[in-house]
């Protein structure tokens, strides 16, 4: 897997580049937005890790340019900007995830793995139109799931939520992440809507005798999968 890392903080970029290399990734690192944009345009990367504020060209501008060109390479923002408006702006620009500085390295590695896994799942789902986790299958286009012999009809939001869960199996998804994902370009509802949507989805995909797939991590969010440790 090939990663482009663009951050002007040398004291962060160099050790992070070494860490990612030790994890088995091929890493190209640069320290300004102009060279970062050139590399992003010319290189074939599986993931871009971009600082928001960069000399020459911001990470936001790099991301916007790529999305305008139809390029779907996953983008993870590293930034000190931590307000909800900042997160929304980054996601609206086309970012896939957002990590506020300072951060734990193991959290960054987990998000890198999740984005690369999601990109692989989306690539596969674009071909087959289906996602499969354990004994649950989702037909994305038709908003229908299958479990054992059951056919499960889903609303649009239920289907989008289930797809998001299945593309991030085993990862903690917070209430804020779910809200931003499901209502990216819409006015966000209250957090109670998420709890209600989860209850509806659980009733449909987890009937009596079936292994639970949606796991509540109290005070934090949810994890999806058949064998998730809390």
> Domains in the chain, ordered, with CATH?
2-113 (3.40.50.2300), 129-224 (1.10.10.10)
User: To the nearest whole percent, how much of the chain has pLDDT over 70?
Assistant: 92
Residue with the larger pLDDT of the pair 229 and 142: 142
DSSP string, 89-149: HHHHTT-SEEEESS--HHHHHHHHHHHHHHHHHHHHHHHHSEEEETTEEEETTTTEEEETT
Distance of alpha carbon 186 from the chain centroid: 19
Structure confidence by residue, pLDDT tens digits, 120-132: 655 555 556 788 8
Q: Residue with structure tokens 């991590």?
A: 217
* Spatial distance between the Cα atoms of 205 and 154, rounded to a whole number of angstroms: 10
Q: Comparing C-alpha atoms, which of 130, 169, 136, 129 is closest to residue 152?
A: 136
Query: Is residue 199 very low, low, confident or very high in pLDDT (cuts 50, 70, 90)?
Result: very high
Q: Residue with structure tokens 């482009």?
A: 4
**75 pLDDT above the threshold of 80:** yes
C-alpha torsion sign, points 229, 163, 221, 120: positive
Query: Is residue 155 very low, low, confident or very high in pLDDT (cuts 50, 70, 90)?
Result: very high
Q: Other CB atoms closer than 10 Å to residue 4's CB: what's the count?
A: 23
Q: Residue with structure tokens 């903080």?
A: 9
* Spatial distance between the Cα atoms of 92 and 157, rounded to a whole number of angstroms: 19
Q: Comparing C-alpha atoms, which of 105, 125, 118, 86 is closest to residue 224?
A: 118
Residue with the larger pLDDT of the pair 154 and 104: 154
């Amino acid at each position: 897997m090939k990663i482009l890392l663009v951050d002007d903080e040398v004291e962060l970029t160099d050790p992070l580049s070494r860490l990612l290399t030790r994890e088995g990734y091929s890493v190209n690192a640069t320290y300004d937005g102009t060279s970062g944009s050139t590399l992003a345009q010319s290189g074939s990367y599986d993931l871009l890790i971009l600082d928001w504020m960069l000399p020459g060209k911001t990470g936001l501008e790099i991301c916007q340019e790529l999305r305008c060109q139809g390029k779907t390479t996953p983008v993870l923002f590293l930034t000190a900007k931590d307000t909800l408006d900042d997160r929304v702006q980054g996601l609206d620009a086309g970012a896939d995830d957002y990590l506020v500085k300072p951060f734990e390295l193991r959290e960054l590695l987990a998000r890198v793995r999740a984005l690369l896994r999601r990109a692989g799942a989306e690539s596969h789902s674009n071909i087959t139109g289906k996602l499969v986790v354990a004994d649950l299958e989702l037909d994305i286009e038709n908003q229908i799931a299958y479990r054992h012999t059951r056919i499960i009809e889903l609303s649009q939001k239920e289907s989008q939520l289930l797809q998001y869960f299945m593309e991030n199996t085993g990862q903690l998804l917070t209430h804020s992440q779910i809200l931003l994902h499901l209502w990216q370009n819409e006015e966000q509802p209250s957090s109670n809507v998420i709890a209600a949507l989860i209850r509806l989805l659980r009733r449909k995909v987890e009937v009596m005798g079936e292994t639970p797939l949606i796991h509540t991590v109290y005070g934090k969010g949810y994890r999806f999968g058949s064998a998730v440790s809390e």
